[in-house]
Every structure is written in structure tokens, then in C-alpha cells.
Structure 1
Amino acid sequence: MSVQNDDKLPASYKYAWTTRSDISLKDFLTKLALVTAWSLLPVVGVSWTTEFKPSMVQNDGSKPWIWVQGSASEQKIAGAEDKAKEEAAKLLKEVTEKVENIKNDDSIPVRSSKKTGAKSKKEVREQVQAEATEQLKKIATKHGYVCGKWLIFAPADKVDMIWSTIATSLVSGPLHSTSAFLAKVSTSSSDENSRGQHIICVYLPDVYDKPAVTQVMKVLLGKHGATLSGVKADLYTTIGIDSKHPSGIPSTIWKNNAVLSEQEAKDLKDSYFSELATRKSNAPSTEEAPVTNAEPQTAVTGTKSEKPTLKKKGPADPFGSDSDRSMKTKEQPEVVTKLDIEAKKLKLKPKLKKKVDDPFGSEEDDVPEKAKPAAVKSKRTQQSDDDDGEDRPKKKRAAGN
């Protein structure tokens, strides 16, 4: 299969999706297709996967393109391609010879002359090329071979995303409402020196229908932000016209600025990227969402777990309110009072030292330490004196008798 001359969707080709395909377009664009070969292992079978993303498929000569077909297709007149190719190839050969002769004709000046009216080599060459372009258009129109494509460039690191959006748009999006009917993307090159650029082609039934070409261009710019590189006729691809062809014939039927002004094209792309940025900024963050949802739950859970704890610890809370203390004092006066005293001691140590009378203290706390032994001693002395007093009279009575 030739990469350069391939503008037809192969009849049987693994790397192509149509409405008759066994898998959905979404799976074709984003997932792996499962393939099973029972002949390799009759009992269990062997399965493996095939990737259909352009960044993952390497061109070994048998899979240069990945295709997606829209709901409509172009209608070609039987034999039109062969007849158009024959006439166009003959014309191209003649034009190439003319351009070569102009280059080697010394009678044609390198620069134009206003005095003599002589045209420069460049002017003579461009005139021949312009005439050839018109003749090729006549050949294509005569044989009904007027289909072609918008050319789009995509970098390797973004080609999967760009290709997926354009292919989806072709089948069920904005491009579906235009005349575009087919799209393909180049696979990855096996050349290590390749720049990694991919080409995406969006096919049109008639490249000479400017209103239809303009409509597709506006969608590609305004809805996909595509980097366009002109419209090329399939006839040009078939006879081998490219940007390096010796004939010098422009390789595209339409250049971008010939369809829309540079300002219009810029405005469309700017609008697309502005809308894209707005969607991204308004989209909820996958990392922040769980945190936001978890915060109310954490607060409620914490509150519920703290309430019963506070109720249980209420009687032993020295920093409670006055009303709480008054209620707790009625229930447990002794415990609450001691805790209150301890709290006051921490805050009002000087005053507590001076304060001697404590209406809630014990009797021993009210008596100074130095007074305690004396008090105890006096009681014992008094008791011993009383005992002696009781014994003496008895002895006196005994002595009297």
C-alpha cells in the first residue's frame, strides 16, 4: 500500500472504522481491541490486544493510515479516476518540461525590466504553473474526480487527542453537518530521524466547492483549533504533485488565506482555545472534591463525639461556667467545691494564702499546724488532770475512814 497515493478507504483493513464495524467508535479511538486466536491453543485460546491510536501504531509499510468513515461517502463516476489520472499525468509532464526550459533559457532575464517590458524567469514560470492549475481543474471537473481533503498537522504528543476529537466530530459532531465524509491519520514513522509530525486528512466530495470548503474550515478552526495546511485534490495526490515536485505547481487547491482572511482564522482559533480554557477552569477538581465533601462530615462527627464526653466530664471540669458550677454544686457539692478551690489557687495564689476561713474546708484545715499539737496536748493534760481529780477524793475518803 502506497502512502503517497492512497486516498481510498481499503475494503478490508484492520485499522479502519466504519458504521459496519464490530466495535464502537469510542472503543476504536480510545481502547484496545481484543483479538482471540483459538487455533494457537485449542483448549483455552490465546488473546492479545491491538492498539488503534496513531501514536502507538508504527508504520511498517502495511499500515500507513488509520481511517474513520462518516455517514456519507463521495460518489465517483465509474472509471473517472483512471481517465482523469491519464490526462493529468500527461499535462504534468509537459508543464515540468516547460519549467525546466524556462530555467535554462538565457534569453529570459532573471529580473523583469520596466523599460523593455520583459518578464523575469519567476514571472514566466508562475504563469505556466497557474495555467496548469486551471487545466487540471478542467480535467478533474470533466471526469467528476473532484474529491480532496483538508490537510491538518498534529504533533506526536497531541495527535491522539486531536485525531479522536476530529473523528468523533465527523461521525456525530459539528463536522457531521458539513460535506466532510471521511478522515484518516498517519501512523507513527519507523524513521528515528522523523520529526514526529502526523498528518490528518478530512475528505470533501468537491474541493472546488468554495462554500463547502469554507464551512469545513470554520468547523476545524472554531470547534477543534486545528492547524490547517490547505486543501489538496486527490487528483494531485494520484499523479504525485507535492511541494517538492519539479513542476512547481502549487500542491494545494486552496491556501488558508484564500478561503478565510488571516484575521478571521485567528479569531476562530482564539475563540476555541478561550472556550477550552473556560471549561477547564470551571471543571471541578478531582483532588479537591473529596476534601470538600469530607469536611462537613468530619465537623459533624467531631461534634457528636465531643458532646457525650463533655457531659461525662462536666462534674470534673474546673473551667465550666458559673451556671454549670451552681448546678453541679447541688448534685456533688464536695467534689465541685474542691475543684473550684484548686482552680482559684492556680489563678489567685496570694489571696488564697491570706484566706484562712474556708466554709467548705475540714476542721483540721482551719487550725494552724503549730496550734494542733498544743491543742491536742491541752486536751490530754486536761483529761489527766480530771482523772487525777477523781482519784484524789477517793484516796482522801479512804484515809479519813
Structure 2
Amino acid sequence: MQSLDSFLSDESSFYGDEEQVSEMEDRAAEFDPMHYWRTSHATNLAVIAASQQAATENGTQHTDGAEIIETKSTCRHPHDGHADCYQRTESVASFLNRLPPSTTKASDLGPWIYIANRNFQSLVVPRVRRLVEEGRKLLEEFEEELSEIQEDNKDKSSSAAKSAVTRKINKKRRKLEADLLQVARDTGVITGKWMLFPSEDKLDEIWAAVAGATAKGALGVGAKVATKPDDEVLSRPRLICVYTKDFQDKEDIRRVLLKLVDLGLVSKGRGSSARSIYYKCDAYTHLDIKGGNPWGLKPSMYSSSDILASK
């Protein structure tokens, strides 16, 4: 009898096509075994049944399966057991006392303090590595196109010629923006955040308002605040991110903004005294698209003034 190997060539699709292989590699790279043991494994009915049988054989008290599921499911949030995160076993007040952002140093904890809306569970698994790979490729292609356009038109100095070049570049830039957001959707990297920059003297107060509303499920899906840099000499504004579930869901983005207004953290007025805040999709953060970037991309998707002005 011929061995199985004789039927498989190097070009065989036994392992799947290139796209399938790439997707599986991404999933393997992003797999968190500790998260699996805290979530899927803990609530697997076969595991629960085996635990019950073992308890019976060892003479320990029998526990009802529903009680086991309820107990296990309370420990399945990715933030559980992490010192830089709000824990379900503590009150929000205790969390804020434990980790005041104004004095908590990055060297002691890390760069961020996190709190999650534990009522929210995403059904989308983000593939960040794939996003970065495909996104960088698009950015590099745009750079090449930009160089070609500039090279082809370097000797044209008339205003009409310059306007034509600008229109051509802007058209390609709009396509780049659309392509990047499509890659974000395709890879499941769809979260985004409103960004607040409070001064250090107001940081704890503003973070307390954000944290309290987030824990109650009245704001977004989560929030984080930057810890105190070790090399900070002069106090500078600190970043607070208020996350929403989907940068495509403009109604939810607006809802979260209106809640920030209700909390007194964002001005609803206009004029020089009213300071806008901005919303940025996480895909742009992963691709390191900031202000003054070489591609001429606008780093934020929305401003609070634009959202509040729209009906």
C-alpha cells in the first residue's frame, strides 16, 4: 500500500490555501492560553462534568452544574487578576483609591490603568497582526505613488499644474483612507475611542467620573488612563481613552459623547472657550498614524463639535 505522503506534493492544499494558512498563523500567534483556561475551558460542559465526577470520587461535596457554571463564568474576564485593571471583587471607589492616576507611576504598574464595562462581550476577535501587515503595505504603496506623482511633475510650476497634482494626490489619499478602514473591518479591529487630555490637577476627578460611568455600563465598552511618567519634570496633560465598540456605529459614538457632556467632561458650547475632543479608531493607533504623519492622513475620525452639530 502506498503511503499517504506519496499522494501529497509540496503544492498540495492539504494544509489549506495561502489565505487559510495565513489566517491560522494569525490565530495561533494571537492565541492566549491563559485566557482560554479562564474562559472556554472553565465553562466547557465536559470539563464541568469531569470536575463533578472527580469531586464525587474524592468524597467531596457535590456541586450543582449550574452553580459551577455561574462560579466559573464570573472569572472569565481578561482583566481578572491583572493589577493594572479594575477587579470585579472591588468597588469602583476601592479601585480609584488603589490606583490614583495622578500618582501611580508607570515604572510601578505599567503605562495604563484600565477599567471595563463587564456587561459588554465582543463577538469579534481582532486580528491586529494582519491589520498591521496589510495596513503598512497600503501605506508603503501610497508612498511610492506619491513619489512617482511628485517626480513626474517636478518641473511643472504653473498654478494649474500644481492644482492638478494636488487633486490627484487627494484622490489617492481618499482611496487610502477607505482601504485602511476596510482592512480594519476585515480584520475585526473595529473599536475606537474618544480622547480626553485633562491637566494633572483635574486628572483624578475626571478619571473617577469616567471609571464610574464605565463600570455601570453607562459609557463605552472600556476606558484607560495613562500613568505618571517616571521622567516627568513638569506636569503635563494626561490621556484618558473612552472606548466604543465600533468606529462604524456613529449613533453609539454620539451616545457616548453625549454622556461625557452630561458628566461635565466635554463642553457642548461653541466658540473659542469650547474645546473639542477627538475620536480615533484603534486601527490608526496600531498603524502609528498620528498628527503630522508623512501620508497626510487625518489621525482622528470625528471631533466633538462636528458630532454635536450634526442631527
TM range (shorter): 0.5 to 0.7
Match of 2:259 in 1: 219
Match of 1:26 in 2: 93
Opposite residue 283 of structure 2, the aligned amino acid is L
Query: Cα distance, 1:98 vs. partner?
Result: 3.4
User: 3-state DSSP class of the match of 2:206?
Assistant: helix
Q: Quick one: which of 123, 146, 171 aligns to 1:127?
A: 171
Match of 2:230 in 1: 190
1:155-178 deviation digits (Å, cap 9, x = unpaired) = 111101000011101122xxx245
1:63 aligns with 2:132: no
Match of 2:49 in 1: none
Cα distance in structure 2, aligned partners of 1:99 and 1:61:
44
Cα distance in structure 1, aligned partners of 2:245 and 2:251:
12
Opposite residue 106 of structure 2, the aligned amino acid is N
Moved more, 228-237 or 72-81: 72-81
Query: Cα distance, 1:105 vs. partner?
Result: 5.4
Pair 107,198 (structure 1): closer, same or farther in 2 beyond 3 Å: same
Match of 1:343 in 2: none
Match of 2:34 in 1: none
Pair 196,110 (structure 1): closer, same or farther in 2 beyond 3 Å: farther
Cα distance in structure 1, aligned partners of 2:211 and 2:119:
14
User: 3-state DSSP class of the match of 2:302?
Assistant: coil
Match of 1:158 in 2: 202
When the two structures are aligned, how many residues end up with a matched partner?
Answer: 227
CA RMSD of the aligned region, Å? 3.0
Cα distance in structure 1, aligned partners of 2:173 and 2:290:
13
User: 3-state DSSP class of the match of 1:60?
Assistant: helix
Query: Cα distance, 1:126 vs. partner?
Result: 3.4
State how 1:200-211 maps to structure 2 within 5 Å: 200-211=240-251
Using CA pairs below 8 Å that are at least 6 residues apart, which structure has the higher relative contact order? 2
1:261 aligns with 2:309: yes
Gaps of 5+ in 1: 1-8, 33-51, 265-401
Query: Cα distance, 1:104 vs. partner?
Result: 5.6
Cα distance in structure 2, aligned partners of 1:11 and 1:166:
20
Query: Cα distance, 1:55 vs. partner?
Result: 0.7
Q: Quick one: which of 221, 237, 250 aligns to 2:285?
A: 237
Cα distance in structure 2, aligned partners of 1:258 and 1:242:
20
User: 3-state DSSP class of the match of 1:231?
Assistant: strand
TM-score normalized by structure 1?
0.50
- Identity, in percent, stands at 24
1:118-164 deviation digits (Å, cap 9, x = unpaired) = 52655444333222111112112223321111111111111010000
Question: Any conservation in 2 of the 1:17–1:68 contact (CA below 8 Å)?
Answer: yes
Cα distance in structure 2, aligned partners of 1:216 and 1:162:
15
Opposite residue 113 of structure 2, the aligned amino acid is I
Cα distance in structure 1, aligned partners of 2:131 and 2:232:
37
Query: Cα distance, 1:25 vs. partner?
Result: 1.0
Cα distance in structure 1, aligned partners of 2:263 and 2:207:
13
Cα distance in structure 1, aligned partners of 2:281 and 2:205:
26
Question: Any conservation in 1 of the 2:276–2:305 contact (CA below 8 Å)?
Answer: no
Query: Cα distance, 1:76 vs. partner?
Result: 4.9
Cα distance in structure 1, aligned partners of 2:155 and 2:117:
51
Match of 1:54 in 2: 101
Moved more, 78-87 or 141-150: 78-87
Cα distance in structure 1, aligned partners of 2:114 and 2:281:
18
Pair 182,79 (structure 1): closer, same or farther in 2 beyond 3 Å: closer
State how 1:329-348 maps to structure 2 within 5 Å: none
Cα distance in structure 2, aligned partners of 1:238 and 1:193:
28
User: 3-state DSSP class of the match of 1:130?
Assistant: helix
User: 3-state DSSP class of the match of 2:280?
Assistant: strand
Match of 1:181 in 2: 221
Pair 23,74 (structure 1): closer, same or farther in 2 beyond 3 Å: closer
Gaps of 5+ in 2: 1-77, 267-274
Pair 100,162 (structure 1): closer, same or farther in 2 beyond 3 Å: farther
State how 1:5-24 maps to structure 2 within 5 Å: 12-18=81-87, 20=88, 22-24=89-91
1:170 aligns with 2:210: no
Match of 2:180 in 1: 136
